Amino acid sequence: MATLLLRNAARVVTMDADRREVADGFVLIEDNRIVAVGGPEALPEGADAVIDLPGHVLMPGLVNTHHHMFQSLTRAVPAAQDADLFGWLKALYPIWARLTPEMVRVSTQVAMAELMLSGCTTSSDHLYLYLNGCRLDDSIEAADEIGLRFHAARGAMSLGESAGGLPPDALVEDEAAILADTRRLIETWHDPARYAMRRIVVAPCSPFSVGEGLMRDAAALARSYGVCLHTHLAENQDDVAYSRERFGKTPAEYAADLGWVGPDVWHAHCVKLDEDGIRLFARTGTGVAHCPCSNMRLASGIAPVPRMRCEGVPVGLGVDGSASNDAGHLLGEARQAMLLVRVGHGPAAMTARQALEIATLGGAKVLGRDDIGALAPGMAADCVAFDLRGLSSAGALHDPVGALVFCAPPAVALSVINGRIVVRDGRLLTLETGLLAERHNALSRRLVNGD
Ligand SMILES: [Zn+2]
């Protein structure tokens, strides 16, 4: 058994049941799980490996609940810079039609590297384009290589323009093929065990890109295997209008009628979830992935996060796809969550600590996990440390935890995922990021320019 001791951290944010913050604290790891957390009075004598963290905040790894990593290839595309959701999608669909398996693999690693360097240790990714031989396996293998805990969501689009959907017909798949591939992925990759590094999620893309039949069949399939369900819902006013016109229902009513509520379901955005929807989600334990940067970028609106949390809806944080953010900094996203909610609901609507709670425990709950999101004995050994001795937090050290969210978001100094050190001294140890960016830029040029 190998032990790793992280000690002398200026502050350990545990996110345990008492939300303890420990000064001069330590975390002791044995293999892939945490065995002890505490202050100087309980410091263990030693371990196989010891890392000192003076001036650092040590906390649970952040959890990202919504992403489309392939979109890293199409960040800041001029034709999609100033559009709303539907206009943005229509500008990008023809470009995405050229996506290849290598592009999926490289862009996924770019997105994952960015996430990991900003404190993320677990992420979901929603891949919904299966063209030119692209498979979800490409993303899963990319995650294995880089060392991120991964919930791979098998997205899908089946409703093309000619059938009243938004995407071009060339981008959609046959529904039977979608279900067969989803079943194959669950049987090949899904790990239901505690501390699992890899889970599969069933995730038809959105009400305006799949039919009702597929939504129902997908829910039945997911439940027959005990895996989670994920999709987009109530993202903006046009999304709500589409739901009312096509189905005669609000997005929440549509989800409820299809069986898409419950503790095994989480929906991205829910910016326009109404009061009845909020109460329905609270009653059923249905989760929400809140994506503040994307909601601002596409001017979708301000999600009613305080109402959701007040009613007991599980809320996690998501950076969303890299083409509508276009940054994948998860700690920065927690800061944006706090700031945006204040614009909509007042300065007391979210504290810095609540923002960190959404980014850790909130995300864990939304993904259906009770083994990540906190530093406590028996939890997975996923922890990150931020060094607050630099310029950006100078003058804020009377509250190092508040400084993490209020000041400019730092890059992570140390990251441990499943007991393995993946970032040390701010450097990713599992991949060479310079070469990765170079390759990614070449693929991006090919995708966007079509040559
Ligand atoms: Zn999305």
Tell me how far the alpha carbon of residue 321 lies from the centroid of ligand 1, in angstroms: 6
Tell me how far the alpha carbon of residue 144 lies from the centroid of ligand 1, in angstroms: 23
SS3 403: helix
| Domain 3-60+373-426 part of CATH 3.30.70.60 | no
Tell me how far the alpha carbon of residue 390 lies from the centroid of ligand 1, in angstroms: 34
Query: What pTM did the predictor assign?
Result: 0.98
Q: What local confidence, expressed as pLDDT, does residue 378 receive?
A: 98
Q: What local confidence, expressed as pLDDT, does residue 451 receive?
A: 76
Helices (runs of H) and strands (runs of E) counted in the chain: 15, 17
Tell me how far the alpha carbon of residue 196 lies from the centroid of ligand 1, in angstroms: 24
Question: pLDDT tens digits, residue range 301-333?
Answer: 999 999 999 999 999 999 999 999 999 999 999
Q: What local confidence, expressed as pLDDT, does residue 450 receive?
A: 87
Q: What local confidence, expressed as pLDDT, does residue 233 receive?
A: 97
Question: pLDDT tens digits, residue range 258-297?
Answer: 999 999 999 999 999 999 999 999 999 999 999 999 999 9
Where the chain has pLDDT below 70, the residues are none
Parallel, antiparallel, or unpaired: how do β-strands 49-52 and 265-269 relate? unpaired
Q: What local confidence, expressed as pLDDT, does residue 296 receive?
A: 97
CA angle 388, 391, 396 (to 5 degrees): 60
- The domain limits of the chain are 3-60+373-426, 62-367
Q: What are the φ/ψ torsions at residue 176 (nearest 5 degrees)?
A: -65, -40
Tell me how far the alpha carbon of residue 265 lies from the centroid of ligand 1, in angstroms: 15
Per-chain residues with Cβ under 5 A from ion ligand 1: 268, 320
Residue type at 129 in one-letter notation = L
Strand partners, 352: none
205: nearest Cα among 377, 66, 340, 109: 66
Domain 62-367 class in CATH: alpha beta
